[in-house]
Amino acid sequence: MRNNIILIGFMGCGKTSVGVRLSYLLKKAMTDTDKMIERLNEQTVAEIFERYGEGTFRQMETECLQKLLQEPEGQIISVGGGLPIRSENQELLKQLGLVIYLRVTAKTVCERLSGDMSRPLLQGENPEQRVQELLEKRTPIYESIADIVIDVDEKSFDVILSEVVEKMEERSDEPACN
């Protein structure tokens, strides 16, 4: 297993925001798979979904993980909310490093993402129901691959970060921050 730190969790759980803060704190580079895909394809995630469909985007996510396995270790990697669903990706995530699951409730997701236009999967008639359905389907998968689980509802970034560091230190003999 590589020594990257991977952040997984549902849309709106704060993976990118926590990842950026963690990268400052631990002085590690940060990569976000959605941003990587957008950069490599020069299109937004929404455009990729619209032009080529979800299947193509999911394939791009797998290729992203394969690329990251070839890159130098020691990165913070935040991944799109649906990436861990493919079983192939679950294996790749485990190979990449320590998987931290930011667990969020449907209520918080709906509050945070109300009016969001950037997430194609939530643009239908009843986004609340969609969030509920996707969350129910995905939660067991997130939990099955997580090394560390952090509940994030109603917590500040400072609290989330200190829980992340504390749980990482419990698993290792070394301090997480130097």
Q: Which residues bind ligand S3P (CB under 6 A)?
A: 11, 15, 34, 45, 80-82, 119-121
Nearer to ligand S3P, 45 or 77 (CB): 45
DSSP 79: -
**Helix or strand run (H / E) with residue 4:** strand 4-8
Minimum distance from residue 87 beta carbon to ligand S3P (Å): 15
Q: Are the beta carbons of 131 and 122 closer than 8 angstroms?
A: yes
Nearer to ligand S3P, 20 or 176 (CB): 20
The CA distance from 165 to 22, in Å, is 9
Minimum distance from residue 13 beta carbon to ligand S3P (Å): 7
Nearer to ligand S3P, 46 or 176 (CB): 46
Nearer to ligand S3P, 16 or 176 (CB): 16
Minimum distance from residue 132 beta carbon to ligand S3P (Å): 13
The CA distance from 9 to 84, in Å, is 9
Q: Are the beta carbons of 112 and 19 closer than 8 angstroms?
A: no
